[in-house]
């Protein structure tokens, strides 16, 4: 595959997945109100498995798109009946719901939670761009 013509949506998916994974390593909650030093997305005592799920989503989307684009790895056309663009959108929406939902939890928020929901929003935007681009066979509207 010629890598000189990388689509902007591909860059958004790879960068969004990488930032989403990195956001789980940063503080999601600061320790001022909770009596501890802070909690990252990997702290299962505070966040359960939500942070780990967000990290897996980031790795799956960013790594999968990067392998498909640069590693000459052929992925299956459909996974569980969904094509890649639909799957990226669904996983990005799940990560967005998890990370954005923590914005409304009590206590101080860390920088990781902010980066998490911004990165998942970028993933959703890239997936929507890919979904719109895959409808290239449609004819433009005409006048009556």
Cβ(126)–Cβ(66) under 8 Å? Answer: no
> Is 26 within the bounds of a domain?
yes
Where in the sequence is the domain holding 68, given as residue range(s)?
A: 6-133
With respect to residue 139, please indicate whether it lies within any of the assigned structural domains: no
- Inter-residue contact 95 to 120 (CB < 8 Å): yes
User: Does residue 39 sit within a domain?
Assistant: yes
Q: Flag whether 1 is in a domain.
A: no
What pTM, to 2 d.p., does this model score?
0.81
pLDDT, tens digit, for every residue of 2-29?
566 788 888 899 999 999 999 888 888 7
Total domains, the chain: 1
Let me know if residue 142 belongs to a domain. no
Q: Is residue 144 part of a domain?
A: no
Give the pLDDT confidence of 55-104 residue by residue, as tens digits: 999 999 998 888 888 888 877 788 888 888 888 899 999 999 988 888 87
Residue 111 lies in a domain: yes
Q: Flag whether pLDDT at 137 surpasses 70.
A: no
Instruction: State how far the alpha carbon of 129 is from the alpha carbons of 10, 12, 13, 63, 136, in Å.
Output: 9, 10, 10, 19, 12
């Amino acid at each position: 595959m010629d890598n000189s013509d990388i689509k902007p949506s591909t860059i958004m998916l790879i960068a969004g997945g990488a930032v989403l994974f990195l956001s789980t390593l940063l503080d999601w909650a600061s320790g001022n109100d909770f009596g501890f030093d802070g909690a990252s997305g990997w702290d299962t005592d505070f966040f359960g498995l939500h942070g780990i799920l967000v990290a897996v989503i980031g790795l799956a989307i960013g790594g999968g798109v990067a392998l498909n684009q640069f590693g000459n790895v052929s992925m299956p056309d459909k996974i569980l009946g969904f094509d890649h663009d639909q799957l990226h959108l669904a996983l990005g929406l799940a990560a967005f719901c998890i990370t954005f939902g923590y914005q409304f939890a009590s206590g101080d928020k860390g920088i990781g939670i902010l980066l998490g929901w911004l990165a998942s929003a970028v993933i959703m935007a890239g997936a929507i761009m890919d979904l719109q681009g895959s409808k290239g066979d449609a004819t433009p509207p005409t006048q009556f």
